[in-house]
Structure formats: structure tokens, C-alpha cells
Structure 1
Amino acid sequence: MASKDTEPVRTRIAPSPTGEPHIGNMYVALVDWAFARQRGGQFIVRIEDTDRSRLLEGAEEMFLESLRWLGLDYDEGPDVVGPVGPYRQSERTDIYREHAERLIESGHAYRCFCTPERLKEIRDERQKSGEATGYDRRCRAIDPDEVKRRMEAGEPHTVRLAVPLEGETQFTDGLRGPIVIENQRIDDQVLLKSDGYPTYHLANVVDDHLMGVTHVIRAEEWITSTPKHVLLYEAFGWEPPRFYHLPLIRNPDRSKLSKRKNPTNVLWYREQGYLAEAVVNFLGMLGHSMPDGREVFTLDEFREAFSWERVTTTGPIFDMEKFEWL
């Protein structure tokens, strides 16, 4: 068996088409692309469009157009036929439901009949007492016969992950090293919503496995979700990929990058006459340094020089003055 350092590499960028293509997503996409291309691997695009209430018409095409403009070619995606499609999660709902049933049958998930009103009461009570606002696991103890009766009656329900009540879950972040969390601190996450659509957590893990993703490279905001994902990999009996969580881009005042303080729509820069090469150059300097210290380089030069050892875990600053200099 090939080691993880020599195996074929498959990375992915998985945007939700709920807004304009964000500069932060392109920063992550650039790293995904560079690492895959440097290792002779594949870079794929998956559209995570299961949150139907927040979809923005045209957002998917704007994201793909941003990738094309920056030169980040992809091997598979919603408009590039590949062997593990479809590449829109809204077209894969049967796959997620099937896997949710597998988890229930193996005892790693359960059906939850709690109403939104009851969940709000739990949340409010726990907030008042200063407790963590997770679910109280009430439905985890329901008798199987009662579950069957309530399902036959058509009672709305979700499917939740049955997190082990003891022990701990750990994983290694490629930038930060080992991360360990006690299982009692992990919420019984909803995996399948009452409308039959999956949450990010179930769809993400199932798709990354079925699509052969070897390295999950994403923003650091997903670190706290990764223990849940590791538990899902274990529940399915799958080997997890390697995880790398990139620091969030910050405004000069260290606040999270937002369009109120800096233009965050990638295509805005094209409309204003900026060259794609300049945008790539700027993104390539965010959190990564070239071995010879230079600040002007091409996309191919960034790909050749990319190294995890030169990626910082400190949030890079979005400096428009430096951008203008480029």
C-alpha cells in the first residue's frame, strides 16, 4: 500500500452557492489547486447546495468563472464530467439518506422527533444557566417500537449522530499537529434534516470518501467540526483523509474579512481592471512565503514553490495598499 506521502493526491474546493465568490474561498482554492498540481494529483469542484433557502441564483456560475479567470483549472466538477459525480449535493440526496440509514442500523445514529419549539426551549434554558447549548439526547433513549410507531404516523424527525458518551476523539491537523477533544463536549449533531436533506457534516464526509479526496484543505472555522467528521469516518469504517485548516484572512484591525471594509467579491477585481495574475500573486502571499522571499511571482511559480512548512497559522492581513502595489 502506498504511503500517504506518495499516494495520488485529490483535493477539492466545495463552495456553497449562497453569495458572491469570496476572496477567502479563492485563497483556499489556490492552496488546494497548488498542492494537487505540485503532487501530480487532481483538483475537483463540488457544489454544496443543500441549504435550499439560502441559494443565490447565478452564484455557482460566478464561482466557477472566478476559478477559470484565475487559472485554477479543475479536473472534475458540475460542468466537467468525472467518474464520481454528480458534483452538486442537491443531486446526491439518495446517497446521503442511504448512508444515514446505515448509521442508524449500526447504532451510530438515531432518529430525533423533538420539535423546533422544544429545541429552542433547551437552548434558552442552557444559555440562561451558562451551559453548552447542545442537544440533551432525549430521543436517543426512545424504544425502537415507539420509533417505528411515530415514523408510521408520519411524525417529522431528523437523524442525529450518536456521539460516544465517554472517551475522546483526536485527529492531526497538518498545520497544527494533534488535536484532542473529549466526547462529552461534542454535540449529537443533526445529520439529516426533517426535509430529507443532509447537513454539511454528513454530506461532506460521505462525498469526500466516495470522491476519493485524500487531503481536506479548508478554513480554520471548520476545526471544531472535524471531531464530528472523524467520528463519522470511524462509524462507517473508513480511513479519514488528512486535514489542513488554513487561517482566516483578516482586515488590518484583525477583524474577520468582510465586504464592509474590503471588496471581497473576486469578480469585482476583474470588473475594476485588475489582472488575474495580480490577484493570484496577492492571494499567494496570504499566509505563505516564497523560499527566496520574493513578493512577485506567477501562478506556476507559486505551484512549484508551495510548501506546508511555509504556511502560517496566524490569520494573514488583507492589505489593499500592498495589493495596489502589485
Structure 2
Amino acid sequence: MTITTRFAPSPTGYLHVGGARTALFSWLYARKHGGKFILRIEDTDLERSTQASVDAILQGMDWLGLGYDEGPYYQTQRFGRYKEVIQQLLAQGDAYYCYCSKEELETLRTEQMANKEKPRYNGKCREHAVAIEGREPVIRFKNPVDGAVTIPDLVKGEIVVANKELDDLIIARGDGTPTYNLTVVVDDMDMGVTHVIRGDDHINNTPRQMNILAALGATLPKYAHLPMILGADGARLSKRHGAVSVMQYRDDGYLPEALLNYLVRLGWSHGDQEIFSMEEMIGFFELDDVNGSPSTFNPDKLLWLNHQYMMHGDPVHVAKHLNWHIEQLGIDAADGPNLVDIVKAQRERSKTLVEMANASVYFYKEFDAYDDKAAKKAFTAGSEEVLARIYDEFAVVTDWQGGQLHEIIANLAETLSLNMGKVAQPLRVAICGSGVSPAIDVTLSLLGKEKTLARIKRAITYIKK
């Protein structure tokens, strides 16, 4: 048997953090067992589904690197198949037409709630449906009335639901379009899904879907319902807790691997290990190790993880993602030092790619003004003479290397009887516009001779004003 999992988002919004974790766990399980991972777009909600949301989901999956083996499949392209199955259920006597109006159903619901009963369809049309002229009937699944459904959930443990608690759900609307619980069942059956890994908000749907699958004579998949993700206040994670869109994390300067590493630890663990390569995630992941309790999203922990990935990750890979942020600033990376060298120079002090990009602008573009506080502190009496001496020394350098430049600065400081800070800091502000940069020799090496000399000259002029 080939292990087959699927991720089946509805295109009614962006790919959010909870969905990304579901996709990750499904992807990991398939990869761990040499199986298939399917992407399915559940777009039967025609009023709310949008192409923009489809694009956002595909973009998010691509950015995260969660490649799929089949798909994306679109449910709107499978309406013919759903109608075929609905007709099969009708022919078997496992489904029926229901002519009850919305008003009747609302009245029934109000009465049941007033009597403190669970709101549910009373089965009026189950055995004796009466056609009403001018009214398009819905089609309901004839749920068993006796016995119980047992869900051997791989995360939650065994869940038992009495069939009497389940009413006859609608599987086709009055206009003939199929509903969620029908389309999911048909897709999972047709696509050979062996493991349904999804959020625990679907637990109420599972026994209904299992009964439909049983009526169709299909093999039941195994189910694993993941606990929800909470905000720091204990409420379900939502927009008010901050960035919950996957692509917002890209925009905020996170590496996809850092986000995946963080998400895998929301409800799953492998001993006390915190940082995992993708290969380790695949190798270690098992549904048995998923915790059944909700997890709390901690932005500070994610930021820490991102910094670890920037510090210790392959600088070529980090540079590839940095380039996108550099471009957002209107900068062409070809106009300055190699981004791999920028990553190596800046990663210790940068926790996000946005920070790194913003802190590196001066390597590629001229700055408009000096940081006022830094300039006042560095450009003091006599600093223009120091910069003039540095200019003269640098102007004759033929091999522009950090080590040699550092030696020139150190010798000059000794000659002028100044500590290194009195020489290096005016130089740093002169060439960077602020008092913060990588080590001065690294900064000079990356900036290059031509830009360095031009900026020193500019600073001398500025100080003399």
C-alpha cells in the first residue's frame, strides 16, 4: 500500500499558519513513508472562492518548499463525478430528496433550541418525501440511526460517536451543487488517500464522512486530527495576534525553513531537539509523537529560530532569499558586493532578512544624510584631519583587502596617538552614514575603494561646513 496524504485548503483567503502546519505534517508523513502528497483545492463554495486566494495558496506552498506529487486538483472540475456518486447513493437508497423549506427548518431549529434539544433535521422527508411544485429539493444522506462510529484517531485516540447524534446531512443543494462533506469523501476515495491529516475542527465531520464512505463500499482512511494553534491570550490564533498569513512571514523577513521548523514543533517533538534540518524532520516525524493538546504560538521563539537559520544556514541559500528583499528596496544587487558576502558580514546582527536588507542599503546606494546622533558623536573637532589622513593612505592602496586596510587604520591611530575608536568611528559614519556596521575592515572591503574614497571626501566637506 502506498501511503497517500493530501492538503485540501479552501480558496477563500490566504494560506494561514494553521493550514501551513497541516500541509507540513501531511507532507512529512508522506515523505517519511515514501508515499504521495496531493494538493487539492476545495473550491465548491463558489461565492467565496477567488482566483487570488488560489494564487496565494500556490505561492505559499511554493515559498515553503512543500512540493506536491499530484495536483493541484480543483473540485469545480469534478462536478460530473460528484453527481454520479450522488445518483449512486440515491439508487442504493442511501440518499433521498428533501423538500423542506428554509423557513420550516428554521422553525424546527428554534423549537428544538427552546426545548434544549440538539438542533438537527428531524427526518421528515426520509421515508415519505412529498414533491412541492416550484421548489427545488436538496438531497440528504440517509445516515444510519443505530450503532456508533468509532474513529481510531492517530492523535486524539479512539473517538466514539453514536449515529443517533448525527442527522441526515445535505449532500447536494437545491441547485444541484454538491456540498463539502460529499466532495471530500469522493475525492479521498478516488485519490486513494490513506491518511487524512487535518485540524481538529473537522472532528464533527469525520463520522459523517466515514458513514458515506461505508455506504459507497470504500476503504476508510486513517484519520489524524491536529490540535488548534492558540495565541498568547489562549484564544484561537487569528489576525489580531499578528501575522498569520504565510506570505506575511516572507514579507517580514523570515526564511521558509525557519517557519517550517517552528511549525513542526507546534504539537510535535523529538526529545528536546529544537532545530531540525528538513532531512531530520522527515526522518524523525511520526504521528504518534503529535501532542493532542493545543499549542501556543510564540513570535519571540520564531524570531530566535530565524536568527539561528540566518547565522548557521548556507549563506548562498540565505542570499537567494535576501535578494527578494533587496529588490523590494528598489536595489539591483549587481550594483554592489555579492549578496553571499553581505550575508556573512551582516547575519550576526540581523534577526530577519528585512533587517539585513535595510542595514545593507549603503553598500548599493548613496545615503541622503548622516544619522544625526552618530554624526554629532563621531564628527568632532579634528576628525576631518583624521579622515584626510585616511583618504591619503587609502588612495595609494592597490590591493583593496580588509586585512591591509585594518593595518593602515591601526598604524594611523598609533601615529596620531589615538585609540582605534577615534579613527575607525568617524570613518564608519563617513562611509555608512551611521555608527553601526560590520567590522570596519569587512565594511571597507565590501564597499570597495571608489565608493570609500568618494564618501570620505564627502564627509570631510560636511564636517568643514
**Which stretches in structure 1 are left out of the alignment for 5+ residues?**
1-6, 79-86
Q: What amino acid does structure 2 have at the position aligned with 1:124?
A: T
Give deviations 1:251-285, integer Å, cap 9, x for gaps: 12221111111311100011111111111111111
**2:290 is aligned with 1:311:** yes
Q: Which has the higher contact order (CA 8 A, sep 6+)?
A: 1
* Distance in 1, Cα, partners of 2:167 & 2:93: 16
1:294-305 aligned within 5 A:
294-305=273-284
- The aligned counterpart of 1:91 is 77
- The aligned counterpart of 2:233 is 253
Q: What amino acid does structure 2 have at the position aligned with 1:133?
A: P
* Distance in 1, Cα, partners of 2:136 & 2:277: 54
* Distance in 2, Cα, partners of 1:71 & 1:290: 22
Give deviations 1:276-323, integer Å, cap 9, x for gaps: 1111111111101124x2211222221111022221001111111111
* Distance in 2, Cα, partners of 1:61 & 1:73: 15
* Distance in 2, Cα, partners of 1:167 & 1:46: 33
SS in 2 for 1:179: strand
1:224-239 aligned within 5 A:
224-239=204-219
Work out the percentage of aligned pairs sharing the same amino acid.
40
Q: Which runs of 4+ in 1 moved over 6 A?
A: none
- The aligned counterpart of 1:39 is 33
Q: Does the aligned pair in 1 maintain the 2:154–2:288 contact within 8 Å?
A: no
Aligned pair count reads 305
- The aligned counterpart of 1:19 is 13
1:11-160 aligned within 5 A:
11-78=5-72, 87-142=73-128, 146-147=130-131, 150=132, 153=133, 155-160=135-140
Give deviations 1:216-254, integer Å, cap 9, x for gaps: 100011111111011111101111111110111111222
Among candidates 254, 259, 265, match of residue 274 of structure 1:
254
Q: What amino acid does structure 1 have at the position aligned with 2:41?
A: I
Q: What amino acid does structure 2 have at the position aligned with 1:175?
A: V
* Distance in 2, Cα, partners of 1:133 & 1:262: 35
* Distance in 1, Cα, partners of 2:111 & 2:13: 34
* Distance in 1, Cα, partners of 2:263 & 2:278: 10
User: TM-score, structure 2 length as denominator?
Assistant: 0.64
- The aligned counterpart of 1:83 is none
SS in 1 for 2:253: coil
SS in 1 for 2:41: coil
Q: CA RMSD in A?
A: 1.3
Offset at residue 213 of structure 1 (A): 0.6
- The aligned counterpart of 1:320 is 299
**2:25 is aligned with 1:9:** no
* Distance in 1, Cα, partners of 2:42 & 2:145: 30
- The aligned counterpart of 1:244 is 224
Q: Rg: which structure is higher?
A: 2
Q: Does the aligned pair in 1 maintain the 2:43–2:49 contact within 8 Å?
A: yes
User: TM-score, structure 1 length as denominator?
Assistant: 0.90
